[in-house]
């Protein structure tokens, strides 16, 4: 599938945009444009006509993202959210800024769908990338070094839904343990079904749906987070691989191998993310992995630029976008 996607983009978090006035945003956009960036990604509800105008005056389009099963920005904003529960029946403790929500609450999903429709229509953006569309897990820490996230969720709602899927009245942790393949299929089907519903809402709003993928191998992603690229592909037009290399210790070759695998499985374009900094200046003190030097970031960017030209990836998105963006000597990306 051929899509119109910028070769170089940058992700600006809403908290950053809220700190910047028009002059600061314009100054950033001019510097980023000089580095070949032609689009900004940010949350849908952070896209305002004025920000669009300022960015547009510097030749930049705006792409929206939408958080599905995380409430870290707006706690208790939507009704019916379910917190992840461990094998012992206790709610999992937050990890850094992340708690996460469990897919499957009809009340929450109805409210989420309505919110997405309203925000997508108001944003008037060509693309909407669905974020946090997965089972809970703070992958930035929990999936390091080949590890897996804490198991979730064994809350009553999820166990009841799993039981119904198996034609039973009730289910317990023991039932999950006795049927691991069915449990994995149930979790994967849950994410795929939600993706289908939310992607349809995006299309109704006149935008194209994409989706963020956890940056681990396909089998681990399906097992740990319920994201199966092949099953999701009929519903979305593009994937963004959250390949924050410092957080997970990914080499340039590993990033491209993950992108190749996702593209082959889904037959969809894959955008690679590139982490421009791990500094506490940008991370708010959270653990973003070891430092990355400007020369290291430039080398990674050059490799991804070459992969874009070769058709292996659809483009590169820099995160955090407010950190210095590596320059390129190639022609500026398409919009």
3-state secondary structure of 42: strand
How far apart, in whole angstroms, are the C-alpha atoms of residue 137 and residue 141? 9
Q: Is the pLDDT of residue 10 over 50?
A: yes
Q: Which two tokens stand for residue 73?
A: 């920005």
Q: Model confidence at 76, in pLDDT bands (50, 70, 90)?
A: low
pLDDT number for residue 4: 86
pLDDT number for residue 75: 59
- What residues form DSSP beta bridges with 85? 91
What stretches of the chain adopt beta strand conformation (E)? 8-11, 39-43, 61-67, 127-131, 208-213, 238-241, 270-275, 315-319
Handedness of CA 64, 70, 74, 77 (dihedral sign): positive
Largest CA distance in the chain: 62
pLDDT number for residue 329: 59
Residue 81's closest CA among 114, 104, 115?
A: 104
Handedness of CA 249, 278, 58, 66 (dihedral sign): positive
Q: Are 13 and 302 in contact (CB under 8 A)?
A: no
Q: Which residues contact 104 (CB under 8 A, 6 or more apart)?
A: 82, 157, 158, 161, 190
The tokens 């995006």 sit on which residue? 202
pLDDT number for residue 331: 42
pLDDT number for residue 2: 63
Instruction: Find the helix packing angle between 180-204 and 106-123, rounded to 10°.
Output: 30
Q: Which two tokens stand for residue 296?
A: 């290291």
Mean pLDDT, all residues of the chain: 95
Q: Is the pLDDT of residue 333 over 70?
A: no
The tokens 């289908």 sit on which residue? 196
Residue 103's closest CA among 163, 139, 153, 169?
A: 153
How far from the centroid of its chain's Cα atoms is residue 142's Cα? 16
How far apart, in whole angstroms, are the C-alpha atoms of residue 301 and residue 316? 8
3-state secondary structure of 245: helix
Q: Provide the phi-psi class of 145: left if phi over 0, else alpha when psi is between -120 and 50, else beta.
A: left
> At 20, phi and psi to the nearest 5?
-95, 135
Domains observed in the chain: 8-319 (3.20.20.80)
pLDDT in tens, 261-320: 999 999 999 999 999 999 999 999 999 999 999 999 999 999 999 999 999 999 999 999
pLDDT in tens, 168-210: 999 999 999 999 999 999 999 999 999 999 999 999 999 999 9
3-state secondary structure of 106: helix
Q: Model confidence at 332, in pLDDT bands (50, 70, 90)?
A: very low
């Amino acid at each position: 599938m051929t899509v119109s996607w910028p070769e170089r983009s940058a992700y600006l978090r809403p908290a950053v945009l809220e700190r910047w006035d028009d002059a600061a945003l314009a100054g950033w956009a001019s510097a980023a444009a000089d580095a070949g960036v032609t689009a900004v990604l940010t949350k849908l509800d952070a896209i305002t006509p004025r920000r669009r105008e300022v960015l547009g005056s510097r030749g930049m389009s705006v792409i929206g993202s939408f958080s599905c099963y995380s409430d870290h920005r707006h706690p208790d904003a939507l009704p019916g959210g379910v917190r992840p529960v461990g094998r012992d029946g206790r709610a999992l403790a937050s990890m850094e800024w992340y708690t996460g929500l469990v897919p499957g609450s009809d009340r929450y999903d109805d409210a989420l769908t309505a919110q997405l429709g309203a925000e997508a229509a108001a944003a008037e953006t060509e693309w909407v990338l669905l974020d946090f569309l997965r089972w809970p897990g703070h992958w930035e820490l929990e999936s390091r070094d080949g590890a897996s996230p804490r198991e979730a969720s064994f809350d009553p709602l999820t166990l009841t839904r799993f039981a119904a899927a198996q034609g039973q009245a009730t289910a317990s942790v023991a039932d999950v343990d006795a049927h691991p393949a069915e449990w994995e299929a149930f979790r994967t089907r849950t994410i795929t079904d939600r993706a289908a519903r939310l992607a349809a809402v995006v299309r109704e709003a006149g935008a194209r749906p994409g989706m963020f993928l956890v940056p681990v191998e396909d089998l681990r992603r399906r097992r740990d987070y319920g994201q199966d690229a092949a099953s999701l592909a009929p519903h979305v037009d593009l994937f963004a691989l959250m390949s924050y290399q410092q957080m997970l210790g990914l080499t340039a070759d590993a990033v491209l191998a993950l992108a190749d695998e996702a593209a082959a499985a889904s037959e969809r374009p894959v955008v690679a993310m590139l982490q421009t900094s791990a500094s506490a200046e940008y991370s708010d003190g959270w653990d973003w992995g070891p430092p990355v030097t400007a020369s290291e970031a430039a080398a990674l960017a050059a490799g991804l630029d070459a992969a874009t030209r070769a058709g292996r990836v659809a483009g590169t998105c820099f995160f955090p976008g407010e950190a210095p963006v590596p320059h390129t000597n190639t022609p500026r990306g398409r919009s």
